[in-house]
Structure 1
């Protein structure tokens, strides 16, 4: 594991983001497995919220899907979110993310396209589409 990942794992435990992610995994009756780069992968998450196919809290990546779902580009996307928790000093990321969702909804009517956190994690890796701001869209006659 690279030094950055060890630091991220430690910081996200101290800032309480990873413990919250582990609590959500437990409450959602997810099966927890050790993942790459200090991540914890939680499969079979049973709550309906959030609606994303995967989401990250601290170093914990949660998904309603079964083992093997979190691979490739999607796992890299979620890995970047884990780093964002470290940079946002943990739990403050949650309200900041909600603000970013609201801004994106105002700009383009989509929760991810103009969400700063999703853009920095690479929209396409997270299976999100890039949508134009509403003021740039052409109107159909």
Structure 2
């Protein structure tokens, strides 16, 4: 299927802003196999590194996973979730997305004890589509005392 005008714009911009290039570098470091995905996305499958801990993650237009291509073919909703992250890279001029995403993880963890539940990037990409359960917000003091409690 042909790409839409906006998919082409995103593909080009995420290459120019170096986010997709960074995704390729991470895939190379993780010894992944590369292939074309739908809608201007690329897959890096067989990713060997243990970080990050996720079924899949996106850098630019590159979706990386330790699984094989069939993993994505069986999960079109997850691919849509990851595609939304590629649009976030587009809107945030590429690599600034990474530290902002980390701040989202920290905020979410402080509020819920979960890295995704209150992470605005995961929420905008749809928690459900990313296979995340929404955890309730807890008082900040409770989270901090549990985090720093001595054993």
Give TM class, smaller chain. over 0.9
- Structure 1 outlier segments of 4+, above 2 Å: none
- Taking structure 2 as the reference length, the TM-score comes to 0.88
Residue 83 (1) aligns with residue 76 (2): no
**Unaligned ranges ≥5, structure 1:** 136-141
Q: Distance in 2 between matches of 1:112 and 1:16?
A: 25
Q: Shift of residue 3 of structure 1?
A: 1.1
Q: Shift of residue 124 of structure 1?
A: 0.6
Tell me the residue number matched to 1:139: none
- Taking structure 1 as the reference length, the TM-score comes to 0.94
Give the alignment's Cα RMSD to 1 decimal: 0.7
**Unaligned ranges ≥5, structure 2:** 140-151
After superposing the two structures, state which structure 1 stretch, 66-75 or 5-14, moved more.
66-75
Matched residue of 1:6: which SS?
Answer: helix
Residue 109 (1) aligns with residue 125 (2): no
Q: Shift of residue 89 of structure 1?
A: 0.4
Q: Shift of residue 22 of structure 1?
A: 0.5
Tell me the residue number matched to 2:24: 22
